[in-house]
Structure 1
Amino acid sequence: MAGNDPPRSIFPQPAAFSLDTFSSKDFIVKEFIEGLSNSCVPSTGRTGTGFDPKPYIRTFEAALRRLKELDLDLSEKESELKERVRRAENEHTKTIERLGDQFNQALANFQRLDSTISDGEGVAVRIGGQLEQLEKQRQRAADAVFLIQCYTEFSKGDTSRLERLRKTGRTDDSVKCAVVARQLSLITKRMEAAGTGNTTQATNTRILVERFSESLEQDLLNQFDRAYKKQNSDWAVMKACAQVLTDFNGGDSVIQIFVNQHSFFIELDNLATGDIAQEGEVWERLPDPDVEPPGVEPSLDTFIREIRTTIIGESPVIARAFPHPDKVLGRFLQRLFQQSIQQKMEAVLQAAASLSGLAFLRALHAAKNSISSLVEEFKNHGLTEHPGPLSSATTLVLEQNLEELFHPYLAGTAYIEKEKNSLETLYSGLLLKFNLHHSRKKRYQGLGYIDRLKMATQKVSSEARDKAINKIMESDIGKSRSDVFTRLMGVDKKDNNSDKNRLSDIETTDADGQLCVDSAKRMLRWMAEAVGRSLELSPASDTPKDVLAALTLLLEHMRKIYLETALDAAIDAAEQSPKAEPDLAFFLEVKPATSIMHLMFIFINTALIPLANTSLTIRREMTIATNTSLTSLESKINQVIQKTIDLILSHITTLLSKQKKQDFRPKDDDVSLTTLRTPTCTSVLLFLEKTTTVAREAVDGANLEYFLAELGGGFRTLILEHFKKYQVNAAGALMLTKDVGAYYELVRGWKVGVLNESFEALREIANLFVVSPAALKDRLRDGVLVKVKPHLLKAYLCKREDYVSAGIEKIVSALVI
């Protein structure tokens, strides 16, 4: 170490720091401690042999003292800041209280101001109302003065004041002129009626006012017409004139001139009054009941389309030209319905009516649907309010005119009577030759009591049939030359082209008097069309009465005139002599009669009676009539079947009566004779085979089974009684069994279960004639004959030739005891 230099510490002084050191954003504690530690390293860079803590102690002690100094400084500053904050908070509180008092004072001042303003507004409103009233009074006074001046001048014959007002060309002046003229007219009429003052002068004044009013009205109408007829219509002038005339006299004159002189109606009237050409497919199909309704008549359809296009295009014109377009449009539509559409529709309906009632009804139905669609389209289009819905006033006009248009055709019972007359005419035309055939049948001469009673039961259907014939000949069908009605009546076209269209000239055949299912289907189809049409044209409240009328008409023609006539004829035809082979052609009527009955009652129960649900009384009446008709027809069909069975059995009895006594007692024992059936059996079999063929054509199902069961039962009874009458030897017994076997095979082919057992017993009874006497006792105790009482079998066994000689009498007597 140098001689006089002061000693230097090997430990450096710690770095100085202040509060700014710790308030810096970049201050890191770890780096701060490392900085203090680095300052403890000796500056010479020498290192000792061991760790010396003293520099670190001194350095950190100095740093700790500095931190305490900084802490004291910081505490003093914090105390000073807290004091300043406390003083600032006190000052802020005082400021808030002062501002609150000022706000409350300002609010009170505002409320006082608002109250003052409100009182002033009420006063202003009252003043304004008074001023308005005074203005009205002043205006009325001015108007009164002006009116008095005008009246005074008019009473002197001077119209210059109103003339000047009228000629200004301003709409307001024209309106005022019209109002004054109307008021002057009222005043002059009252003055003249009162009789005060100079009556002559009052009359002259009234006449002058009326002339001026007429002149004013005519000028406005001419002005409106000129504006409308311009190439580009002057809508402003038209609307101004219409407004003045509306204020003057309600606008009826301007509406009238607009509607009456409209080219649209002139063109429509020409279309409406044109001739109806009855040509084309529609006119061919209209009177034909066997084709679907053809729809709207072509000229009427064209007419309606023209109306639709023009009205929709004209409605904006009405909206622009009139202050109250709904009123004008209502008048326009009223004229359209009450004149143009009505004329056209009447022409079409008259042309259709000249063909037939059906053509008229179809044309009426199509017209109603088409015009109703037009009305609905107008409602949906909105016309003057397009695209919104139509106004209620115009809608009411449309609905009223639509109802009035068809009221003459649909009111009361007019429509349903036309439907009834049309159906009666069609039914009568279809059944004309059928009724003529049955009416021309010769009546029996010298009728006894039973026959007269039977004819009395047929009186109702005969009267109905005669009525139908007269109706068809008096109707348009009877006088028509139309191919439709010629085909409908089944009359030859060549006979219908001359004056031979009379009852006596119409030829009929047996086929014309027979029932036809296709004819019944046509009748039901016509009825269905009429009922469907009535549901659309008649009010819903009339539906029960309408379907009752339809049911009555259907039962009158299909039951009485058609079915009962044919069934009564079949019953009459069953009254044949059993000696000759009967003609069973009448029995063939049963099957179509059954089918027609089935169709008719299905139609009634599904299509007519449900429509009367809204009226329990009418529904009950319809049900009773239907059930009564069903019972009556079933009774007649059963009667036909029973009489047929009786007739067949009677003829079989006749055939059996031709059995020779020697058929079952042949003298010759030739075997070839025993292999053949008797001629009587052959004839019975042939007749029964024919009968079975006819029966299968005439009836089916349960009716066929019932018929064969009844016939088989009666036939068995006849055979049993028949064999009681003849003596049988050994060879004849073989022929008898052959006959019975043939009968058994025939009946078994009918496949009626109830007959099999009974005819099995018949065959066993026949076998009793061929069984040896020794085996007879066992035979009677076995098989189906066990169920037969022995005394009943005795009547057959006693016909055996060996009944006494072989001791059969003793065997039977023992069994009977």
Structure 2
Amino acid sequence: MSFSIYDLDEEIRDLLQLDNFLGGLTVNEFVEELSKDHFLKGAEVNKLEYLDPKPYIRTFESALRELKQLSNEAQNQKAHMERQVEDYEIRHSRNVLELSDQIETITQQFSKLDVRISDVTNQIDPLNTALNKISNSRDVSIETIFLIRAYHGFFTKEKYEPLETLRTSKRYEDKSKCAKTVNNLLTLARKIESPDIAKTAHCIKIIEQFSGLMETELLNEFEIALENDEFETMKEISNILIDYNGGENVIQTFVSKNEFFEEEELQDLGKSLLDDESAWPVLSDVNSSEHIKDEEIYNLLNQLKVTIKGQARIVSQVFQNPTPVLRIFIQRVYAQLIQNKVSNLLTYSLSFGALAHVRVLHMLFQMVNEFTKDLKDFFITNEFDNDNELSGILDQCFYDLFIEFTSENYYFIREKKNLEETIYNIVSKFNSYNEKSLTNKSLSEAISNLNNMDYNITPTEKDSFVDKFGFKFIEKKRYDQFKEFMKTRLDVRRSSTSLDGEDLKERQEYTGLNLRLVETIIKTVVESIARVLEIEPNRSPEYALEILEILLFDFGKMYIEGGLEVIYDNAKLESNYSKINSVQEVNFNYLNSFHLLGQILFIISSCIKKIIIPCAVNNPTIRNRMINLTNGYIKRCELSINIILSETIDLSYNKLNYYLSKQKKKDFVGDNITEDDTEACELVSEFMYDVFESLSRNLDNDNLLNVLNKIGDKFLNALLEHFKKFPVNSTGGIILTRDVIRYQSVIDKWEIPELSENFQILKEIGNLFTVHPNLINSLVTEGQLATLKPLTIRQYISKRTDFNPSYIERFFSFK
């Protein structure tokens, strides 16, 4: 009870309830609610808003007292609740203990009951066994009695009516019993047959006749049911005959009487290649990429695919074990419906050449392989082939289909023949148009006689280039093969071609390297590899190696290296002609093939790296052999290119010296300075410009840079020697410097900073002829002249017209 004169009103007391705070009333909301009525809204005292603090203070004092009381009440409620929780936990523990005792009691009771049930079962099982034996003995006795009576009937009367009744019955159980009895009857009759009792043999014949009649009638019923799609009847009969003798005849009936095997069902399937005369020229053309397929076989396979899948579902309904039926059905489909068409088409294709044959073989192989894989997936997916027996049958049928054309390397012999003939046709024409260059073998001799130091190779490496990388044994073998080919074609070519009727287009195509011909060979190689990987995947590494040898030794050696021989021979001819006729301008047209040569080598190496070598990824020995062959061939080609470029450099250097020889003795001792450069400078500058233009057109990248560097170095050395030969006066020094500036401008256009830097020495040498003698000593100690030997500098200074040996030696210490 509160004794404050400022007691709380009823609204505030209602606010100070414990339930309000438990219900979510915040402190801010509580304070605002508590103080909202204790100010005078709008009232003013002395023009100031009135504010009486006492109500606030007293109100909050009372509120604190009430809050303290509420806190005490809350603590009391908490303690009371904790005591209740402890009571409930004790009760729960007691309940758990009581239930645990009850469960243990029930478990013990169940164990005792289980033991009693086991005892009862052990007593009942012998009784069941005995009853089963008695029942089985009774059934066996009945069957045995029936079997003996049946034999007696056939032995005495040649028939047994109850068995005949079972045979003619319409009930499945009776027919099944008849088949089982006849089977046992035959076994019994054969066992008791005796030569002493002739009638026993006759009895066997009678029983066999009855057996044959029974099976024939069942097969007839099966055939009628097959025609009428009565699957339940077919299933009953198949079960009877399979139990009777394995069901061989019923399976044969099911397969042979299938309407799809009727010949009229196989008509009008599409156009066959056997009748399409327009397709064979395309298949025989190495440049043709048109995809041709036999529509008749394609449609036949599609129709067979649908039929086999449908028949598989029927077989699963008719036969308990569909695998033997499907095996015979599949074998007959391949042997009767596919084999003849494939063999006829492949045999016919041989008359159009190896290419047409292998293309048709590949086409059929792909079509039938896809057909076979689809069936294998179907059988596995639909659980017809859990033991993979049908997959094995399909693989065997597929293999047998092409065995005639793939066994004993027949396929690859034709594949090689096609590739070799394609290459030889190109090489033979190439040889005929370049016979002179190829006969000279100038490049081969240059490789054999090369200076090891010029190409940074050791004598051992030189032997490798000439022998190992030349692969003499294989080269000779393949070259002999090419000569045999040429002998067979030479007479035909002579009779069909004359010099007067020579085809200009063919001459242009075969006088040099031709990218189109290279693409034809690469396309043929890739096509061959694709066929090998599909038709003979297990032998693809060794076959790919043989294809690589054909590519490198037939095409690479006789065509590409032959093209290099032609280029080198032209370079030699140009060099020799330039020596004989020095006035004639140098012709670098033989370098026109260098861009093309780079593309050809790139295409061939890419084909080998990305297509041929991966075929031997699982055979390290063959793979290493492929890599060695390829590296050896590429190195040989690179060496040949370097020799041709070396010949080009020598040709340029010889012509350069010829033009420098046009320099007149008095060109640098004149009294007057003309506006024109000297004749030699004009000739040399124009020549070097032509050299740069020709090389830039025909070379690129490192080849161009290396050749220009070497020609530039030779040019610089030639000029350094050249300026040692001519006397120079003060006026001539200016003329010489003007020539030097012209030479430098020619080199600067090459855009090779190093070379341009080296040519700066020419300007410094020109200064030796123009500066005052007193300045020579300081001049030769600076710049690039400081790197020259004193004797060399003396050679230049000695050409000054004011040269005085005693004066120079005294002041400049030149020795």
Change (3 A) 1:278 1:691: farther
Alpha carbons 2:424, 2:485 under 8 Å: kept: yes
Could you say which residue in structure 2 is the equivalent of 1:433?
429
Alpha carbons 1:243, 1:322 under 8 Å: kept: yes
Alpha carbons 1:300, 1:348 under 8 Å: kept: no
Alignment partners' CA distance in 2, 1:130 and 1:403 = 54
Could you say which residue in structure 1 is the equivalent of 2:64?
none
SS of residue in 2 equivalent to 1:305: helix
> In the TM superposition, what whole-angstrom CA distance separates every residue of 1:41-96 from its partner, at most 9, and x where no partner exists?
xxxxxxxxxxxxxxxxxxxxxxxxxxxxxxxxxxxxxxxxxxxxxxxxxxxxxxxx
Could you say which residue in structure 2 is the equivalent of 1:217?
215
Give the AA of the match of 1:632. Answer: R
SS of residue in 2 equivalent to 1:768: helix
Alignment partners' CA distance in 2, 1:790 and 1:205 = 134
Alpha carbons 1:547, 1:608 under 8 Å: kept: yes
SS of residue in 2 equivalent to 1:676: coil
Could you say which residue in structure 1 is the equivalent of 2:138?
135
> In the TM superposition, what whole-angstrom CA distance separates every residue of 1:260-297 from its partner, at most 9, and x where no partner exists?
23331224655799853564998776556566663753
Could you say which residue in structure 2 is the equivalent of 1:63?
none
Alignment partners' CA distance in 1, 2:540 and 2:110 = 79
Alignment partners' CA distance in 2, 1:116 and 1:763 = 125
Could you say which residue in structure 1 is the equivalent of 2:645?
641
Alpha carbons 2:271, 2:295 under 8 Å: kept: no
Change (3 A) 1:526 1:145: same
Could you say which residue in structure 1 is the equivalent of 2:814?
816
Matches within 5 A, 1:491-640: 500=496, 508-509=506-507, 512-517=510-515, 519-539=517-537, 542-557=539-554, 559-575=556-572, 576-577=575-576, 578-579=578-579, 580=581, 581-640=585-644
Give the AA of the match of 1:584. Answer: F
Matches within 5 A, 1:59-98: none
Range with bigger deviation, 521-530 or 322-331: 521-530
Alignment partners' CA distance in 1, 2:311 and 2:119 = 60
Range with bigger deviation, 318-327 or 158-167: 158-167
> In the TM superposition, what whole-angstrom CA distance separates every residue of 1:637-685 from its partner, at most 9, and x where no partner exists?
111111111122122223333444455566xx554xx332333333333
Range with bigger deviation, 697-706 or 507-516: 507-516
Alignment partners' CA distance in 1, 2:163 and 2:498 = 82
Alignment partners' CA distance in 1, 2:664 and 2:476 = 47
Deviation of 1:336 after TM superposition, in Å, equals: 0.7
Deviation of 1:601 after TM superposition, in Å, equals: 3.1
Deviation of 1:701 after TM superposition, in Å, equals: 1.2
Alignment partners' CA distance in 2, 1:150 and 1:137 = 19
Could you say which residue in structure 2 is the equivalent of 1:262?
258
Alignment partners' CA distance in 2, 1:176 and 1:610 = 65
Q: Does residue 228 of the first structure (1) align with residue 232 of the second (2)?
A: no
Give the AA of the match of 1:512. Answer: Y
Alignment partners' CA distance in 1, 2:293 and 2:286 = 16
Alignment partners' CA distance in 2, 1:366 and 1:111 = 73
Q: Does residue 166 of the first structure (1) align with residue 162 of the second (2)?
A: no
Deviation of 1:367 after TM superposition, in Å, equals: 3.7
> In the TM superposition, what whole-angstrom CA distance separates every residue of 1:580-602 from its partner, at most 9, and x where no partner exists?
34432223333332333334334
SS of residue in 2 equivalent to 1:276: coil
Matches within 5 A, 1:598-747: 598-664=602-668, 669=671, 671=673, 674-728=674-728, 733-747=733-747
Could you say which residue in structure 2 is the equivalent of 1:93?
none
Matches within 5 A, 1:269-280: 275-277=272-274, 279=276
Matches within 5 A, 1:412-427: 413=409, 415-427=411-423
Could you say which residue in structure 2 is the equivalent of 1:197?
196
Range with bigger deviation, 715-724 or 769-778: 769-778
> In the TM superposition, what whole-angstrom CA distance separates every residue of 1:532-590 from its partner, at most 9, and x where no partner exists?
44444444x54543443444343334532333222233233332314234432223333
The percentage of counterpart residues that share the same residue type is 25
Change (3 A) 1:189 1:585: farther
Deviation of 1:439 after TM superposition, in Å, equals: 3.8
Give the AA of the match of 1:224. Answer: F
Range with bigger deviation, 113-122 or 425-434: 113-122
Could you say which residue in structure 2 is the equivalent of 1:330?
327
Deviation of 1:335 after TM superposition, in Å, equals: 0.7
Deviation of 1:159 after TM superposition, in Å, equals: 7.3
Alignment partners' CA distance in 2, 1:377 and 1:449 = 60
Could you say which residue in structure 2 is the equivalent of 1:401?
397
Could you say which residue in structure 2 is the equivalent of 1:374?
371
Alpha carbons 2:239, 2:319 under 8 Å: kept: yes
SS of residue in 2 equivalent to 1:574: helix
Give the AA of the match of 1:555. Answer: L
Q: 1:314 aligns with which of 308, 311, 316?
A: 311
Range with bigger deviation, 608-617 or 449-458: 449-458
> In the TM superposition, what whole-angstrom CA distance separates every residue of 1:733-776 from its partner, at most 9, and x where no partner exists?
55444433322221221122232233221233244344454554
Change (3 A) 1:746 1:197: same
Range with bigger deviation, 504-513 or 714-723: 504-513
Change (3 A) 1:501 1:397: farther
Alignment partners' CA distance in 2, 1:266 and 1:623 = 56
Give the AA of the match of 2:196. Answer: G
Alignment partners' CA distance in 1, 2:488 and 2:211 = 64
Deviation of 1:707 after TM superposition, in Å, equals: 0.3
Deviation of 1:191 after TM superposition, in Å, equals: 6.7
SS of residue in 2 equivalent to 1:515: coil
The normalised TM-score by structure 1 is: 0.71
Change (3 A) 1:228 1:531: same
Alignment partners' CA distance in 2, 1:300 and 1:112 = 73
Alpha carbons 1:464, 1:561 under 8 Å: kept: no
Deviation of 1:124 after TM superposition, in Å, equals: 3.0
Question: What do you get for the CA RMSD once the two structures are aligned?
Answer: 4.6
SS of residue in 1 equivalent to 2:683: helix
Deviation of 1:119 after TM superposition, in Å, equals: 6.7
SS of residue in 1 equivalent to 2:799: coil
Alpha carbons 1:297, 1:348 under 8 Å: kept: no
Could you say which residue in structure 2 is the equivalent of 1:485?
none
The normalised TM-score by structure 2 is: 0.71
Q: 2:152 aligns with which of 149, 153, 162?
A: 149
Give the AA of the match of 2:561. Answer: E
> In the TM superposition, what whole-angstrom CA distance separates every residue of 1:173-214 from its partner, at most 9, and x where no partner exists?
44444445445555666677xx62155x55544544444444
Could you say which residue in structure 1 is the equivalent of 2:11?
none
Deviation of 1:448 after TM superposition, in Å, equals: 14
Range with bigger deviation, 517-526 or 584-593: 517-526
Change (3 A) 1:307 1:505: farther
Change (3 A) 1:512 1:714: same
Aligned residues between the structures: 679
